[in-house]
Copies of this chain bind each other. A is one copy, B any other.
């Protein structure tokens, strides 16, 4: 627990700026009078705070609100997308990505670079990422945006700026904060599953309480409770992939046996239909030249569409394993909803029934209603977007500090 600092005049003002900006963010364009109502501050105070935010370029007046009520109409104030922006970055197994998002969470710049990172050494990739980041920032500046911070998504658990273990990259204990110096920006790093969950929060359906299940090559999850990410004690919560499904099942690369990943990881899913790969290649969805993984996953989807019994059986088994692991997750984490993302989002039509069946059979008596099961609304870029969104959140939570008010 950190030392809790007292409130002084300047921090009172800083807090009130954040409250006003946060309320504008949360409840769309609002008049000063409405803001005064919502925040409990007086109209006078709100006026002063809003005029500071206008000057800083954080908000804009969007025009007079004529709502049919009588009385003088107010002037609506909304977040401004013209000045403040943040940078999201991602290192994944087969690509690097960068994006710039403005204060309204509109995506302004997107750059992706395919790369087979399995065969590269960390310094090389970090150099490439830095180039990508610089180009994205330059592009944003050309649009008149000021990039105020950055965050990076990596496919593995992070502890103090150190990527602890990314088995699919073959990296262990790699320091990934070197970008800070060059970009000269506030910088954060976090697990891809965590940031993808935040991507779903801010760029998805609008739900504020859910467990986002990230089905990539490994399986991770990020829990969002009341709009905030739950990280656990060491920031390693949500490792759904190694929840025990069958205590004496087949061995897993984590050293355990019968983990979820053994039954529902991408290798397991694709391996189950491997004998059919000839057929997969012949399907129209499987274009030549694409990375092997993606082609195979699309191939699997194609087989499923075509009603292939082996593919359906593989999905059925993976789905039931996922349902079993999610049962434990629901009991322990108590999520408001379950969102299947990544490859599980793609395969949702074939996973929904087996997963849902297991969940409802096992949870029916304990809970009035088991959490709803839905497919992710955000796509493959959830993690980069979540990274940029995380920094936007920091700006909104402390406009005074970040924008120098």
A interface residues, Cβ below 8 angstroms from B: 1, 3-8, 12, 15-16, 19-20, 22-23, 26, 38-41, 45, 164-165, 208-209, 221, 225-227, 230-247, 253-257, 324-325, 327-329, 331-336, 361-368
Residue from B1, B237, B331, B361 within 8 A of A242 (CB atoms): B331
Q: How many angstroms between the C-alpha atoms of A384 and B137 in the bound complex?
A: 56
Chain B residues contacting A12 (CB-CB under 8 Å) are 7, 12
Can you tell how many copies of this chain the complex includes?
2
A366 CB contacts on chain B under 8 angstroms:
165, 239, 242, 254-255
Q: How far is the CA of A65 from the CA of B90 in the complex (A)?
A: 54
Residues of B within 8 A of A246 (CB): 246-247
> When chains A and B are docked, how far (Å) is the Cα of A368 from the Cα of B173?
11
**B-side contacts of A239, CB under 8 Å:** 331-332, 334, 366
- Residues A244 and B39 in contact, CB atoms below 8 Å apart: no
Q: Contact check, B8 vs A334: say whether CB atoms are below 8 A apart.
A: no
* Min distance, Cβ A330 to any Cβ of chain B, angstroms: 8
Contact yes or no, A332 B243, CB < 8 A: yes
Q: Is the CB of B237 within 8 A of A333?
A: yes
B6 A332 Cβ-Cβ under 8 A: no
Q: Contacts A165-B366, A246-B247 given; indicate if A361 touches B255 (C-beta within 8 A).
A: yes
**Given pairs A226-B233, A232-B334, A239-B331, 14 additional interface contacts (CB within 8 A):** A1-B208, A4-B22, A165-B366, A225-B232, A232-B335, A239-B334, A242-B362, A243-B328, A243-B331, A244-B245, A244-B325, A244-B328, A253-B365, A332-B333
Closest Cβ neighbor of A327 among chain B residues: B244
How many whole Å from A310's CB to the nearest CB in chain B? 22
Measured in the bound complex, the distance between the Cα atoms of B246 and A94 in whole Å is: 36
- When distances are taken between beta carbons in the complex, the residues of chain B under 8 Å from A333 are 232, 237, 332-333
B22 and A234 within 8 A (CB):
no
Counting chain B CB atoms within 10 Å of each CB, which of A45, A231, A254 scores highest?
A: A254
CB distance from A6 to the nearest CB of B (A): 4
Residues of B within 8 A of A15 (CB): 6-7
Q: Are B329 and A332 in contact, with the CB atoms below 8 A?
A: yes
Cβ-closest chain B residue relative to A336: B233
Do A5 and B19 form a contact, CB below 8 Å, given A246-B246, A332-B328, A332-B333?
yes
Please indicate the chain B residues that have their CB under 8 angstroms from the CB of A253 in the complex: 365
Flag if B334 contacts A3 (CB, 8 Å).
no
A-B contact pairs, 26 of them (CB 8 A): A3-B39, A4-B19, A6-B19, A6-B20, A6-B41, A7-B15, A8-B40, A209-B233, A226-B233, A232-B334, A233-B335, A237-B332, A239-B332, A239-B334, A241-B331, A243-B327, A243-B332, A244-B245, A244-B327, A246-B246, A255-B361, A255-B363, A256-B361, A256-B363, A328-B328, A332-B333
A239 to B330, CA, bound (A): 9
User: Which residues of B lie under 8 Å from residue A4 when comparing CB positions?
Assistant: 19, 22-23, 39
Cβ-closest 8 pairs across A and B: A232-B334, A6-B41, A255-B365, A239-B331, A256-B362, A233-B336, A237-B334, A6-B39
Measured CB to CB, the closest approach of chain B to A334, in angstroms, equals 3
Report B-chain residues with C-beta under 8 Å of the C-beta of A332.
221, 237-240, 243, 328-329, 332-333
Min distance, Cβ A89 to any Cβ of chain B, angstroms: 24
Q: What residue in chain B is nearest A334 (Cβ atoms)?
A: B232
Q: What residues of chain B lie closer than 8 Å to A38, measured between beta carbons?
A: 3
| In contact, B236 and A367 (Cβ under 8 angstroms) | yes
* Closest CB in chain B relative to A290 CB, distance in Å: 31
Partner of A327, one of B164, B256, B331, B363: B256
A332 to B230 Cα, complex, angstroms: 10
